[in-house]
Amino acid sequence: MASMDCGFVDCHCHITACEFAEDLEDVIKRTRESTSDVVPFQAGVKTLISVTEEASEFERVIQLFKGYPDLVAPCFGIHPVQGCGSQDQRSVKIQIGLDFTPWYAPTSQEREEQLTVFTKQLQISKDLDLPVNIHSRSAAKITIATLKEQGITCALLHNFAGKPSVAMEGVQAGYFFSFPPAVCRNEQKAKLIKQIPLEHICLETDSPALGPEKYVRNEPKNISLVCEYIAHVKGITPEMVIHATTDNALRLFTKIKRLE
């Protein structure tokens, strides 16, 4: 069980995004500080799993890790709709997935191409013995089916938006699901969160996107909001949520520095 002052693990954020270029140090400071009156014992975010979306961010996340080794955990990967070349795989996890939304993948050929790349990336994750950090949009069922077919046992499905029945297939396979602060303004996610066992839930911000307010830059400090929301939906205390989700993150991402 996590300690009483363990802090949060943000399992999916984009701290290398250009939106943070001007005031990153201030963002980091707010990230470390206590962020909630509802969760009074926590001391801010202790680990940021910083996810890249394209190869141009790789060097940036490496430098952030060097500058904040006790905070930033690099997650190298390519977003499903980014057309980038080869990538350095020296990471603690890999960000991959499928995005079958009509404006990104309007044809069956484009969806098949994504699936081919996805399958190859899953093989890389197995070869490197790394968990995968999955982007899945309008492709929940096929994403989970492919993970199972490829023998993936360690996976996080971030900002999951599939049906509860599909999520339960992932739960049965041992996968984890994370939710950002935007769920606080999406009542449809409440049913999904209520059904997924707490032992399979992690926290994320997906910052700078998917914050508590539309069109307002999201920050990792807002992770306490989703903690409070999940506690409300499940009828438990925020303390229970932070303990469970931190333990879940440490069980999934075994190479991140264990929290004191």
Residue among 141, 134, 233 nearest 176 (CA): 134
Q: Classify residue 3: in a domain, yes or no.
A: no
List, in sequence order, every beta strand (DSSP E) within 131-230.
132-137, 155-158, 176-179, 201-203
- Are the C-beta atoms of 217 and 208 separated by less than 8 Å? yes
Domain-located, residue 259: no
Residue 197: the pLDDT is: 98
pLDDT at 83: 45
The whole-number pLDDT of residue 198 equals 98
Phi-psi region of 130 (alpha: psi -120 to 50; beta: other; left: phi over 0): beta
Q: Please, what's the largest Cα pairwise distance for the chain? A: 51
Predicted confidence at residue 33, as pLDDT, reads 80
> Is residue 161 in a domain?
yes
d(CA 25, CA 19): 13
In a domain, 2, yes or no: no
The CATH number of residue 121's host domain is 3.20.20.140
* Main-chain phi, psi angles of 27, to 5 degrees: -65, -45
Write the DSSP symbol of residue 138. S
* Any domain includes 159: yes
Query: How high is the pLDDT of residue 88?
Result: 40
- Residues 17, 211 contacting (CB under 8 angstroms): no
Q: Is the pTM of this model over 0.85?
A: yes
Give the chain's domain count.
1
Q: Which range marks the domain in which residue 53 is found?
A: 8-252
Specify the pLDDT at position 249.
Answer: 96
**Predicted pLDDT of residue 1:** 40
Does 29 reside within a domain? Answer: yes
pLDDT by 10s per residue, the chain, length 260? 444 456 899 999 999 999 999 999 999 999 988 555 555 555 589 899 999 888 788 889 999 999 999 999 999 877 666 544 444 433 445 558 898 988 888 899 989 999 998 999 899 999 999 999 999 999 999 999 999 999 999 999 999 989 999 999 999 999 999 999 999 988 889 999 999 999 999 999 999 999 999 999 999 999 999 999 999 999 999 999 999 999 999 999 998 855 44
| Sequence-separated (6 or more) residues with CB below 8 Å from residue 184 | 212, 225, 226, 229
Let me know if residue 1 belongs to a domain.
Answer: no
User: Could you tell me the two tokens for 48?
Assistant: 């940021």
Is 260 inside any structural domain?
no
pLDDT for res 27: 94
Decide if 78 contacts 29 (C-beta within 8 A): no
Q: 140 with 164: CB under 8 angstroms?
A: no
Which residues have C-beta within 8 Å of that of residue 238, sequence separation ≥ 6? 36, 38, 39, 224, 227, 228, 231
pLDDT value, residue 229: 96
